[in-house]
Structure formats: structure tokens, C-alpha cells
Structure 1
Amino acid sequence: MSAIYKHSFLTIAASAAPGDQAGFLGERKILPGRKLKADIPCLPHRVVEMRQIHDPNARRSQTDLQENPLNARAWAFQEHLVPARFLDFCSSETTWECKRATWSEGGFEVKSIGYNSIYRKEYQQNLEDGDPDTLYQFWAYRILTEYAPLKISFEADRLSALSAVASEMQQRTGDKYLAGLWAGDLLRGLTWFSGFRSLGWLPAEYRAPSWSWASIESTRLLFDFGYDSRPEFVSKGLTAVVLEAECQPVGVSLTGRVQGGFITLRGRWCRQILHFGRESYPTSASPDESSDYYFLEGLPGTGSVELGEFRPDTTLEVRSYQAAGGMTRQYLQRSRLRHSVEAGLNINHPVYCVGIAEQTNGWCDTFTFLVLDHAEGKEDTYQRLGLAYISSTYVPSGWIKSMEVSDFTIV
């Protein structure tokens, strides 16, 4: 896939077409305009008719995805970035992209800024000129946050549909690719979360280890922006150490599907009790409107500090298994359900919180914890449930240094 698109002379996209059986050269949408009176003698009617032009920076906005369905497809993402030249037939105009520029039909060069869509020029400049840390940031904060929410017909293809971009990044960095993350930037990679109030859900079949963003489907994917791995930013001793990380690919491709994988972290940890609650909003339009949420509190009798915000990856479910000696034990499992259920109200379960990163914003630190529980029937391995945070303002002196240091193997 990477070689085919990379070495094509020109790639043409019919973004406005709803499918491969539909045409795209019909009548285009004309954006609304208005007539302005102008006191210009050379104009016969002294009226200027101005037509609104399409804003190319609005690519993958909600309106754009409705009018240009191809932009919402995961497979089309890499087919857009990898080619040297890209001609796009959109609903209201045609755009041109190459390694040096992106031009709209209105005659303006498109400049991708912040959260706006990635264009070929930006992608190529990062590959050619970016140092490793710049490339890691580009991968997490730009490529993955734009790619992960895109639609895909077969859930199992989520990693495969990004393999061409991953292959080019791997050639540039020489790093080991781990189910959508990079070994050289793994701690930053672990700080992903699926929005603030929007939870993800498990795909129908196994797709990636629980620590990878690719293990779930979500409508949004974000990473901690304050993360910095440089020694001068790691001051409190909470940042974990990656001891080992491996993935088992399906087939020969190292950037495609995986059938398993694990990471082993060494870090400071504490125990917390995970609860499920329901928060009502009496001022809302509907008096019955409520929001389901999960929260953590310190384990009684341990002197553990209560962690603040908890962001679960998905709705959580309590499961049971038969342990050695015939004992029945419970564990928390991420769910395939897209919304919380009443059964969640019974959650009152201890979990492991492993410190993985520190964020510095200039006036206080925020500590990020990976929230884990035992994997099914395995006392020596763990699965990821989400992330938790606490501000250094609420951390008593000496608490971090008093935390136990252990190794955790996460699958």
C-alpha cells in the first residue's frame, strides 16, 4: 500500500462521491453570496456580486464530512498523505496538494494550523526536517488524533489502514512500532484518552493490547499535552521506566495487525477504590437528565491520597473467574457497550494506579497514573482501564517517595 501510493504520479480523490458507484463530476454546490453596492464609476450597475469561497481549512469538520464522505473514511487518510501529488474533487471546489504547497480553487494557499486537518505539505515537511521528538509529537497530537475517530467498515483494519504512514515514520525514526505507538516514546503514547465525557468501546474482536489506543473504538482521541520526557521536566520521581515492550504481528507486516503484545513497566503505585456514580443536572432542560461517571478514592487504612480526575477508556464491567484453589475472584473489564448501564452502579472495586508521567505547565505539576486491574485469570498480568490525574497541589510532602515500586506486565 505504501509503495503504490508513494510512487504514483498523481492520486485523484472523489471526496464528494458517496461511494465508488457514484459519479462526482456533476453540478457542484454553490456557496451563498451577496450583492454589494459600490460607488465605482466603471461598473455599469454599480453593484458587485460576491460569492463565498470554500474554506479548505475546514476539512473534516462536521459539515465537510457530510458533504465529502471520503474524508470520513479511515482508509482514505493514508491515501491522502502518502502520495506525492493529490488532486481532490470536493463538493464545492477542487484542491491541489503536493510536497511544497496546498492550493484551493479560490486561489489561496491552505495552511494547516493547530487541530485543522493535516495536509501533504505539513506531513512531508515533518518527515524531512523533524527531529525524533518533533516526529513523536506529530504522530500523537496530529496524526492519531485525526485518524482514530475516522469510520472504518471492518474494525480489524484499524491498524492496517494506517500502516503506510507508520512505515514512513518508521523509516525516518528507525524506532520499533508497537500497535500504533513507538517504543522510543511509549510513556507519552500511554497518555491517550478518549475525550473527557465520551467513552470508547471494545471492538467485536481482539485488535491490540489494552495499553494501545487501537484496542478500542472511540469518537475522539487525545493525548496529554503537558508531557515532556526531558530530565529537567521530570522532577518528582514519579515517571515510570519501560523495561520491555513487544508485539506479535499477524503476517510479515510490522506496522499492520497484531495478535498479541505486552509491556512491562517499573513504577511507583498505589491502590484505589473505583466507584460508579450518577450526577444530576437540576438546571438542565430535562429534570431527569443525568451523567454517569466513574471516580476513585483512596483505599481505606492505607493512607493513600485520593486521586482526582479519572478517565476510563470505556464503560467498565465486573467479571468473575475461578482462581487457584476454587476461589471466585472478580476483576474489571472494559466493555463493548457504547453507553454505561445500570449494572455499573454496583462497581466498588480496588484497582492499581501506576504513575507513568509528570506534566509541567510552569506553576504546578500534574501526575498521570495508568489505572489497571488483573487480566482475566492471570494474577501476574494486568490490563488497562483508563487514566487518572492528580495535581501536585494536593499531594502531601513525601507521599510519592513513600509509594512502593513494582513491575507491572500489561497485556
Structure 2
Amino acid sequence: MAISGAVWGGHRGYGSLALTGRGHATDRAVMLGLMGHEPERVDIELIDTWLQAAGMVGRLPLMGHHAVAFNARQHIHFHQDRTLPAHPNGMRLLALDAAGAVLADETRFSIGGGFTVTEETLRAGQSATGTAWPHPYRSAAELLAMCHEHSCTIAQLAMGNELALRNESEVFAQLDRIRDAMVACMDRGLNAQGVLPGGLGVRRRARGMHEALTQRAGVAGPLWELDWVNAFAVAVNEENAAGARVVTAPTNGAAGIVPAVLRYFESFCAGALPHHNRDFLLTATAIGSLYKENASISGAEVGCQGEVGVASSMAAAGLAAVLGGSNEQIENAAEIAMEHNLGLTCDPVGGLVQVPCIERNAMGAVKAINAAHLALAGDGQHLVSLDKVIQTMKQTGADMHAKYKETSLGGLAVNVVAC
């Protein structure tokens, strides 16, 4: 397609994506994507330079090659009064040639965790991937039954499914890469200082928390370990708020919980070995997939119970697994964590992923740890199943007023002055 001399027709966001788009840096992400940058490899230190350069010359290097006329104010639109019927997080991307003829026109929906799909995919169901999984399951009950049938752990079953896509060494390498990216993000956050962007004037706290804990080395007091967990989670989500690189687990807004709980295990639990990190992540992934398939991991769709709640459930399951829990105890840990996040609203002040999101990740991590320990104190038998909790979470999200689902139109977002 010859596009030299073409203009970018525009990005148009709708619903929740429009209402919190600028606060979530959707406009910046769209521009970087058009430039050809990918989240895993983009040099985050150069992002501002690239965007400023594009703004100054009024041209954007499409996929790094062909420059097209581009003006963010003219070509990125947030339709805050309109929602597309298929999903509250909708976006339309339109490209025109110099004469105004349409070159490309596509509507996609952001369903959480970095996943975007077409309306056709939404209608077909998220699981319609075409992959022939060796161990297909659609519910926690099926997952447990399959593990019992094969005499394996949840992590081992999840690994078997991963092997349908790539070989063992590749799976291990990717798991290790995810873990290392989580730790790298955390370490950056623990050492960064200053004020977060966006206009709220929120000061970074993770570095101060880290320094205070380091000075207390050898003088552990009550809640010593949880103080570290708080610092770990806050560090990651301050990095997210600053537009740095995080691992969606399952989303950016909830990115601090799984890493914080994993590092809690590595730092404070006896017998922690490197291969346990893989079991932790595989178990957490298996649990997260149940929410994605049967409910939602989108704050715009079900509120923050679908982000922080799911992350807490995933982390609780992962921790229970590496602490030696049975499959039933792991399922119980995941259930406990979500049960006590039901109804959690998504009401970011100013549309920014800062207040209450950063502290909420610390709370979610602590809940995950407690849920794992509660489950391990029992034998895995419990009244409320994980499947019932997932079903309840979905129903609660459907009943929740739209203003509490990532729109910044209710809750703290309207009761705290965002200036």
C-alpha cells in the first residue's frame, strides 16, 4: 500500500476508553504503536523524545518508515459521550490517503491485559483460538478433575498446555523472562523518586519505604515482611503510573500484585528455589485464564474486582502452590482472595492509574498472602467454590453502575478534587 503523502485518519476511543484515555496514556500508546514500537522492546527512556519530535514536525513515521501527516489533537478523538455496544472499551482506527479516501478502517475492543479483539472475536468467544489444547478446561471443577485424572499439579497441567505452542526450553525461557521483567520493574520503582506525571502531584513513595526498611535490617518488627510486600507492590505501580514497562498480570492497573507476592516468596519463604518461580507463574496463569474465559479481567467491564481482584486470586493460588499446597488448597486460596474483593469498584481520580490504584495493589498483595495461608491451614474442603465466586464476580460486575467501572464518573474520582 503506497502511503507516502497519506494522512492518518485518526484513532477514536469510546466509552471507558475515552473517559480515561488520556489518564491511561492511550493516546501515547497509539502513537508509539503506529511508529512500530512494541511494549516489550521499546526504549522507555526515549519515548518522550520521539513523541515530542512527532509533535514538532507534525509528521509521524508510520511503522518507523513512511512519514504521514499527524496531529494528535486532530487525529486522536475521545468520544466520552458514546459507547460502542459490543464492549465499553472500544476504539476505531482509520487511515486515509491524501485525497481522503479510506485506506483502512478497523474497530477493536480492549478487553484487559493488553488484549484487543474484533467484534467478531467477541461474538465467537475469547477461547475460539483454534489451538488443540491437550488439557482443555473451562472451569475450576474441570481443572481439578483433570489434574486428578493425570495425577499432576495445576502447574504441570498448565505446562502441558504451553507445550502445545512451544517446546519446553522456550516455555521456561519465557517464564524466566517474565519473572525477570517483573523484578526489573520493581527494582526501578524502589530506586526512583520524584512526582508522578498527570497533574495530581502524587509523590513516589516506594524508594522511601525501601530505604526505611533497609535501615531496619536485622531489626525486624511486627508486619516486617508485609512492609516489604507493600514496598514491592507500590514500586511496580508507580512505574506503571510513570509510563514505564510493566508485566500485565492480568492488567497494567493490577500489575504489582503478582510480582510482590512472588518476591515475598523468594525473599521470606524457606526453601525457595528458582524453579518454584515457574510453578508460581504457571499456577497463577491457569487461575487467571478461568476469569478471562468465564467473566472478565477488564475494569471497564466489571470494575476493579476484575483487575486487582483477579490479580490477588492469581497470586494467592501461585503462592499456595509453591508453599506445597494441594490442588484443592490452591483452588481454595484463589477463591478466598476473590471472595474478599467482590464488588471492588474502579474509580481512578483524574482517570490516572494512581489514586487509589497504587495503594490498592499493596492491599491486593497482602490479601493474596493471607488467602494462601488461610487455605493452607485447611484441607482444601470449603463451602464456596472458585467457579461460584467467578460467576458471582461476573454478575456483580453486570449489576455495578457504569460510573464505578473505569469511567472516573463516580466514587473517589468525583469526591476528590483532581487538581
User: With structure 2 as the length reference, what TM-score do the two structures score?
Assistant: 0.22
Q: Which has the higher helix share?
A: 2
Q: Which has the higher strand share?
A: 1
Compare relative contact order (CA 8 Å, sep 6+) and give the higher one, 1 or 2: 2
